[in-house]
Structure 1
Amino acid sequence: MNFKKTAIIAAVAGAAVAISSAAFAGGMPKKTAWTAYGTTSSGYAQAVAIGNMMKKHYGTNMRVIPGKNDISRMAPLRDNKAGYCACGIAAYFGQEGVFIFADKKWGPQPIRLLMTNIGSFGLSLATAKDAGVKTMADMKGKRVSWVQGAPALNWNVGAQLAFAGLTWDDVQKVKVSGFGASFDAIINGQSDAAFSSTVSPSPKKLAASPRGLRWVPVPHDDAEGWKRMSAAAPVYGKVKAKIGSEIDKKNPPHLSNYPYPILVANESWDAGEVYAIVKAMVEHYDDYKSAAKGALGWKLDNQNMQWAMPYHAGAIKFFKEAGKWDAAAQKHQDMLVGRQAVIKKAWDALAGKDSMSKDELKAAWKPARIAALEAAGLDPIFK
């Protein structure tokens, strides 16, 4: 991952991860509240399954709060009305203070990982078969759906294009009103490609249309391509996609994905409770792994100790006991915690933000954030 150049603010990071013994006073809670995606989502079903496991073994009552969007899922965490979020990639945007978090009601969030679910789905550019796209380089000059009001989706498109050294400037931008509309535009012959999960219903609609569906591969042996894409979006990992529309299970395509759900808490949340929850999720994995679609991805061996976000102190304690945490993981953790500290300091130092409009704040915050990270020898990523 291309998070840093060479300089690391070790002193800041070291101070930030110091944990007192009192922080580990808690254990399995009697009650807990998690936010998740809507009630029809796999993330919600998985949270319910994990809650059932907790009730069975510990008597814990879990309330799962469904949220229709990133704000409704993250706000209870921010306001301490929920301890945990089974979030999507918005959790990463929260730590970076970008997109919806570049707002005076938010700012960069002190988020920490507990565990992540790494599935066998892919996240990629879906194209019409008749568009003639077989490699990412073939995307040059093609029409690509650009979703208004969805910067995260458009950021993902840019990261995929970066695999072939392309940017949004190398394709034709087709503005659409929403995610569903991004595929309607392909079906209707107005666009050639859009970003999606392989398991979304929208690509299935495209596959059933006269234009057909093809996923644009990101070959796992293309080191330079992956270096470019990882620099644009450090959240991505390699996956041989095995589920979804037009996926050949016998010859799975080389695609990318990132975790979903991403289980997070605030840095200040009781470390003893976090430790107990992570331990329970690992030790009683068999109780919930088949109780909800996609839950297999929570297994301990799937956890990436050097991903894009820092882990909670309680989770680290368990991973150390399990023999999964080493010096390299700690070095990466220190860098990420230091990164969060730099972003938070820059946000706090941004003069006049309380009186700025949303657009004024975003315009002022972007260069301030970039300057602070670059001054610390860290890659801003979001430019």
Structure 2
Amino acid sequence: MKSHGITASLLLAASVLIAAPQAGAAEIDLPRDISWTAFGTSSSGYAQSVGIGQMLKSKYDVDLRIIPGENDIERMVPLRAGQSDICACGIASYFAQEGVQMFAAKAWGPQRLYNLFNNVGINGQTAAVAADVGVKTIADLKGKRIAWIKASPGNNMNMTAFLAFGGLTWDDVEKVEVPGVQQSLDAILNDQVDAAWASTLTGTLNQIAASPRGLYYPPMPKDDTAGWERAHAIAPWFAPVLVQSFIKATGVEEPFEGMNYPYPLFVASPDIDDAVAYGLTAAILGNFDAIKEAGPSMEGYAIDRQLLSYVFPYHPQSIAYFKEQGLWTEDDEQRNAELLRRQDILAAAWEKMSGMNVAEADFEAEWMKLRAASLTDAGLHVVFEADASN
């Protein structure tokens, strides 16, 4: 099967732990005031930002202003307008880079974004499955009732890719529409569905585990190359990990082979000051011991958990830091060049689209066609096909 460029690098990154010395304060020159956007004040991403801000203040006399945004657009607006230095975003930042879904509108289009560093946690993202249906592998979900969450394309694409790992599509299962994320998990408790998408630390999973139905997580074995190839064709942001933190489930040993993706993802526009890009990368990754207890789920800021070949190109100054630590490889450099080229192709396609006279009602559909054709002509994987989340 044709490789989509990310599978091998992610499998390697997930299987190798690397050690590096911490950066010294003398190497870091940060301005007094820095701002970044984050999820709302009740989110773990916001709490993590507060903890990082305390470290920046105590060690570098930097005041961090955290701008909460309740949705993906709100978090990207200050970044695009130059009102914030970076965004502590979710995976929708990848949708922004690709110019799809809410970013397929005339006002947006594909955004040039650089990655600086990420939180690659020790939890997982998975299908939470009722243990009483006897599922052991993802392929065993065939014929089972699977939650489809209305107006939640990210979650539905995750489930689509998860099913694909097991060689399944939505045609192989019973799709059950639910109005929201919480309702999808409640539907397991109420015996209305057999599986729903969740973080392995979602509180409702405690109730499912304690219920007569029980809880199970089908594994995603790292050595199932074909399975990962199928999953990455739909969701390139999936990263194979050993899941160490999860609500206990029937017959699931710790750790288990599963999937996660970074949260938050720290992305910046190309306009970010070089000193800020380098300084934040060095300060946060180099002071892991000072922040690891400063907020929830901080384990993922360890430098040995960074995915240096992922779905965003890294900022040149972040790359400089990783090179200083002896971590940046030729494979990482090649992957980075491929991702920069992808952004160039998308930018050229958007410029062409912007010069076309297309009615507002038809704009997104026509853009998605032009986008797909441009990527295909360049020999690149489209990812967001029209039916990718159906």
TM-score by length of 1: 0.89
State the match for 1:323 in structure 2. Answer: 326
Q: Map 1:63-82 to 2 at 5 A.
A: 63-82=65-84
Q: Is the aligned partner of 1:314 residue 2:306?
A: no
Match of 1:213 among 208, 212, 215: 215
For 2:317, give the aligned amino acid: G
Mapped to 1, the partners of 2:134 and 2:325 lie a distance apart of: 48
- Give the 3-state SS of the residue equivalent to 1:108 in structure 2: coil
Mapped to 2, the partners of 1:183 and 1:88 lie a distance apart of: 21
Instruction: Kindly state the Cα deviation for residue 246 of structure 1 after the two structures are TM-superposed.
Output: 2.0
Structure 1: gaps of 5 or more residues:
6-25
State the match for 2:192 in structure 1. Answer: 190
Q: Is the aligned partner of 1:301 residue 2:304?
A: yes
Q: Map 1:38-49 to 2 at 5 A.
A: 38-49=40-51
Mapped to 2, the partners of 1:267 and 1:202 lie a distance apart of: 40
Instruction: Kindly state the Cα deviation for residue 139 of structure 1 after the two structures are TM-superposed.
Output: 1.2
State the match for 2:285 in structure 1. Answer: 282
Mapped to 1, the partners of 2:355 and 2:273 lie a distance apart of: 34
> Relative to structure 1, is the Cα distance of residues 185 and 114 closer, same or farther in structure 2, using a 3 angstrom cutoff?
same
- Give the 3-state SS of the residue equivalent to 1:349 in structure 2: helix
Q: Is the aligned partner of 1:334 residue 2:337?
A: yes
Mapped to 2, the partners of 1:144 and 1:129 lie a distance apart of: 14
For 1:286, give the aligned amino acid: D
| Stretches (4+) displaced over 6 A | none
Select between 336-345 and 218-227 the one with higher mean Cα deviation: 218-227
1:92-142 C-alpha deviation (Å, 9 max, x unpaired): 111111121111222111111010111111111111112222111111121
State the match for 1:226 in structure 2. Answer: 228
Q: Map 1:54-203 to 2 at 5 A.
A: 54-203=56-205
> Relative to structure 1, is the Cα distance of residues 100 and 334 closer, same or farther in structure 2, using a 3 angstrom cutoff?
same
Instruction: Kindly state the Cα deviation for residue 351 of structure 1 after the two structures are TM-superposed.
Output: 5.1
Mapped to 2, the partners of 1:166 and 1:221 lie a distance apart of: 19
Number of equivalent positions:
362
State the match for 1:267 in structure 2. Answer: 270
Asked if the contact 1:3/1:231 (under 8 Å) is kept, the reply is no
Instruction: Kindly state the Cα deviation for residue 161 of structure 1 after the two structures are TM-superposed.
Output: 0.6
Q: Map 1:367-382 to 2 at 5 A.
A: 367-382=369-384
For 2:144, give the aligned amino acid: K
State the match for 1:8 in structure 2. Answer: none
TM-score by length of 2: 0.88
Asked if the contact 2:216/2:252 (under 8 Å) is kept, the reply is no
Match of 1:204 among 203, 206, 223: 206
Mapped to 2, the partners of 1:238 and 1:115 lie a distance apart of: 18
Instruction: Kindly state the Cα deviation for residue 158 of structure 1 after the two structures are TM-superposed.
Output: 0.6
Asked if the contact 2:201/2:247 (under 8 Å) is kept, the reply is yes
> Relative to structure 1, is the Cα distance of residues 32 and 309 closer, same or farther in structure 2, using a 3 angstrom cutoff?
same
Asked if the contact 1:3/1:234 (under 8 Å) is kept, the reply is no
Q: CA RMSD in A?
A: 2.0
